[in-house]
Amino acid sequence: MRLLKRLCLFAAVCACLLAVLSAAVYHLPWAALQGLPEAKRDQLVSLGVVSPASHPLYREWLLNFVRTPEAPRPSTYSLDTPPAYGGQRTITVDDAPSDALGFANAIKPSQARVLFVGDSFCNGASAGTNLSPPAQFARITGASVYNASNGGYGPAQYQRILERVTRSLPPGERFDGKDVVVLSYLGNDLSSDSLLYLERLESIRHAWRWQLTLGPLRAWVRYLWDSRKGQALPYGPQWNYSGVPMICATPDGQPFSWHPGYASYLFQEGLDAQFEVAARLFEGIAAQAPQGGKIRLVLVPSSLQALEKDIDWARLAPGSPPARDLRPIIDSMDRVREKGVALFGKLGFDVLDLTPIFRADPDRCLYYQPEDTHCTAKGYEAIARAIAARWPELGRSGQ
């Protein structure tokens, strides 16, 4: 009996110590993380190891991060696919400084006639904010544009940005125009972004439960394990979609390499659950339409969807990951896209699906970075021109 009591006491003490350690890790001050690379610090926050509130650029109203307000942005960009295969490559980009809200603009929301909202595609990732679709749209049409976007955003952020920029900002600062354009990337806005949103919401709204159930420690262990595996090939050779030959002219004549994360589209059950969450978020976006105005929704396809016919399928080794998986992934992405288009129509959005437009464009292979998820400057220009052609009235409301 005494032994049992001692074991119970020992277990209780261990549980208390682990809970204290979990809370201590979760509330680490940002200064304690300064020795880590920025990407690793951000990853610890995203996984719920460390409280987002500790990050100086975290905004509770956004449930995400902004760029450093009123500061220049880096002139280089790290392509997102090479690290998945054990490499690293940076390119030069043309980024504008951030404004007071942490978005890349030279004007206030109140000075704009068109409001763009989106994620890294709207932000011009891999080319620069000065070459983003909103910036190129402004040059093409002469309309005054405010670009409220950053990398890592999804439908949850779009809804919050619209509420903030059109309603919560003081009079004289908020956007009071009628024209809103939301750029939605079909690669993750209707799928994995929803999962990330739920995880962050869980860790923030139920922070105490997250800490008491050792969530920060569990996430930390998972992070360390994934990092250890990542010393070689993070996703394993079974998901290697790199070096895929193309039959079209590509930027610098490179083959395309797709991120292993696309393999998530092979698992339909998870996609259905994620789509349901995304549907609720887009309902919230629809409710943020400006009075007397409307929200235009632009659907940007992944490079896999746009360039399916340009893959040199005959040169793929039989049974290789690209030969085995890419077509099923594309089919799955298209099913999600079709569900999304039907949903958006019911919600009252005016929708521009760029997928058929890009698939029919002879220059489409020059629209995407071969080693990155995102578009080239030419691709972003094509997006801007498609928007201007579809809605020539944009920016002219009330003039």
In a domain, 309, yes or no: yes
In a domain, 55, yes or no: yes
Domain range for 295: 10-15+17-390
**Identity at 59, one-letter amino acid code:** R
312: CATH = 3.40.50.1110
pLDDT score recorded for residue 22 = 79
In a domain, 395, yes or no: no
Compute the distance between CA of residue 187 and CA of residue 281 in angstroms, rounded to an integer.
Answer: 16
In a domain, 4, yes or no: no
Compute the distance between CA of residue 76 and CA of residue 68 in angstroms, rounded to an integer.
Answer: 16
In a domain, 396, yes or no: no
pLDDT score recorded for residue 340 = 94
In a domain, 270, yes or no: yes
In a domain, 166, yes or no: yes
Tokens (6 digits) for 317? 């080794």
Helical packing angle, 155-163 and 192-205, nearest 10°: 60
In a domain, 398, yes or no: no
pLDDT score recorded for residue 190 = 86
Residues 6+ apart with CB under 8 A from 264: 191, 192, 270, 271
CA distance to 5, 269, 368, per residue, from 264 (Å)? 48, 10, 21
Q: Residue 266: is it exposed, middle or buried by C-beta count within 10 angstroms (0-12/13-18/19+)?
A: middle
Tokens (6 digits) for 267? 């698992």
pLDDT tens by residue, the chain, 399 residues: 677 777 777 777 777 777 787 788 787 787 777 777 666 776 777 777 888 878 888 898 998 889 999 999 989 999 999 988 989 999 999 999 999 999 999 999 999 999 999 999 999 999 999 999 999 999 999 999 999 999 989 999 999 999 999 999 999 999 999 999 999 999 888 887 777 777 777 767 777 787 878 888 888 787 777 655 444 444 566 789 999 999 999 999 999 999 998 998 988 777 888 888 899 999 999 999 988 888 999 999 999 999 999 999 999 999 999 999 999 999 999 999 999 999 999 999 999 999 999 999 999 999 999 999 999 999 999 999 999 999 999 988 654
3-state class (DSSP) for residue 178: coil
pLDDT score recorded for residue 231 = 42
Compute the distance between CA of residue 371 and CA of residue 392 in angstroms, rounded to an integer.
Answer: 34
Q: How many domains does the chain divide into?
A: 1
Closest CA to 55 of 211, 200, 209, 227: 200
